[in-house]
Chain A
Amino acid sequence: MSGFISREKFLLRRYFGIILFFSFAMLCVWGLADQAMALVTPEYNALESERREQKKSTDEAEGFEAFDEFDEFDEFDEFDEFDEFDEFDEFDEFDEFDEFDEFDEFGEFDEFGEFDRHAENVFDPLSGYNRAMTTFNDRFYFWIVKPAATGYDRAIPVPVRRSVDNFFRNLGYPARFINCVLQLKGKAAVDETTRFLLNTTAGMLGFFDPAQSSLGIWPQDEDFGQTLGSYGMGGGFHIVLPLFGPSNMRDSAGLLVDMFMDPVFYMEGYHMGSVSWSVDGLNYTSMHLGEYERMKNDAIDLYVFLRNAYEQNREMKIRN
Chain B
Amino acid sequence: MKKLLIAAMFIFFMATVAFSGEKDPHSPEAAEALLKKNIESVLAILEDESLSGEEQKKKIESIVDPVFNYPLIARLSLGPRNWPRLNPQQRDLFIERFVRRMKDSYFENIAMIQGGAEKKVQYGEKRVEDNRVHVPVRAGMKDSSVDMIYKFHLSEVEGWRVYDVEINGVSIVSSYRSQFNQVLASSSIDEMLDALKTLEAPKTE
Contacts and interface: CB of A to CB of B under 8 A. Distances in A.
25 contacts: A63-B80, A93-B85, A97-B87, A99-B88, A112-B163, A114-B171, A115-B79, A115-B173, A120-B79, A120-B80, A120-B81, A162-B143, A290-B204, A298-B105, A298-B202, A300-B179, A300-B196, A300-B199, A301-B179, A301-B182, A301-B183, A304-B178, A312-B166, A312-B171, A313-B168
Interface stretch (A101-109, A180-188, A251-259, A269-277): A101-109
A262 to B, nearest CB: 21
A312 B81 contact: no
Interface residues of B, number: 43
Contacts of A90: 85
Given A91-B84, A312-B170, A299 B79 contact: no
A304 B179 contact: yes
Given A109-B80, A298-B105, A307 B178 contact: yes
B123 interface: no
Nearest to B147: A316
B177 A294 contact: no
A28 B139 CA distance: 40
Interface string B128-172: 000000000000000101010000000000000001101011110
Contacts of A108: 72, 75-76
A70 to B, nearest CB: 11
Contacts of B174: 115, 117-119, 308, 312
B205 interface: yes
Nearest to B177: A119
Given A115-B76, A294-B205, A300-B183, 9 more contacts: A87-B81, A94-B85, A99-B88, A106-B84, A115-B164, A120-B81, A308-B178, A312-B166, A313-B169
Taking residues whose C-beta sits less than 8 angstroms from the other chain, chain A's interface range is: 35 or more
A153 B123 CA distance: 35
Contacts of A173: none
B180 interface: yes
A314 B168 CA distance: 9
A293 interface: yes
Q: Which of B84, B112, B183 has the most CB of A within 10 A?
A: B84
A115 B171 contact: yes
A317 interface: yes
B51 interface: no
Contacts of B9: none
B22 interface: no
Contacts of A44: none
B181 A120 contact: yes
A49 B108 CA distance: 44
Interface in B37-91: 72, 75-76, 79-81, 83-85, 87-88
Contacts of A120: 79-81, 177, 181
B3 interface: no
B178 A290 contact: no
A299 B170 CA distance: 13
Given A290-B204, A298-B202, A305 B175 contact: yes
A67 B179 contact: no
Contacts of A118: 171, 174, 178
A233 to B, nearest CB: 18
B76 A109 contact: yes
A106 B183 contact: no
A309 B108 contact: no
Nearest to B145: A218
Nearest to A165: B143
B83 to A, nearest CB: 7
Nearest to B90: A97
Contacts of B199: 300
B101 to A, nearest CB: 9
B178 A122 contact: yes
A308 B75 contact: no
A318 B81 CA distance: 29
B35 to A, nearest CB: 19
